[in-house]
Amino acid sequence: MDLVLNVADYYFFTPYVYPSTWPEDEIIRQYLSLLVVTNLGAFILYFFFATLSYYFVFDHSLKKHPLFLENQVYREIKYTVQALPWISIPTVLLFLVEVRGYSKLYDNIEDSTYGWPGVIFSMMSFLFFTDMAIYWIHRGLHHKLVYKHLHKPHHLWKIATPFASHAFHPVDGFLQSLPYHVYPFIFPLHKVVYLGLYIFVNVWTISIHDGNGCKNEQFFSGKSLKTK
| Positions of E strands within the chain | 105-106, 189-190
pLDDT beneath 50: ranges in the chain: 214-228
Phi, psi of 189, rounded to the nearest 5 degrees: -155, 135
Give the model confidence (pLDDT) of 208-220 as tens digits.
887 665 444 443 3
pLDDT in tens, 150-169: 999 888 889 999 999 999 99
In the prediction, which pLDDT does 58 show? 92
Q: In which region does residue 70 sit, left (phi positive, over 0), alpha (psi from -120 to 50) or beta (all else)?
A: beta
Residue-range definition of the domain harbouring residue 17? 2-225
Residue 212 pLDDT: 67
* pLDDT at res. 80: 96
Total of domains in the chain? 1
Give pLDDT, residue 188: 94
User: Whole-prediction pTM value?
Assistant: 0.86
In angstroms, the CA 173 to CA 203 distance is 15
CA distances from 6 to 17, 99, 225 (A): 14, 10, 55
Contact 102, 170 (CB under 8 A): no
Q: What is the pLDDT of residue 1?
A: 87
pLDDT of residue 204: 92
State the pLDDT at residue 220. 37
Long-range pairs of 36-43 with CB within 8 A, sequence gap ≥ 24: 36/8, 37/1, 37/4, 37/5, 37/8, 38/1, 38/88, 38/91, 38/92, 38/95, 39/84, 39/85, 39/88, 41/4, 42/84, 42/87, 42/88, 42/166, 42/202, 43/81, 43/84
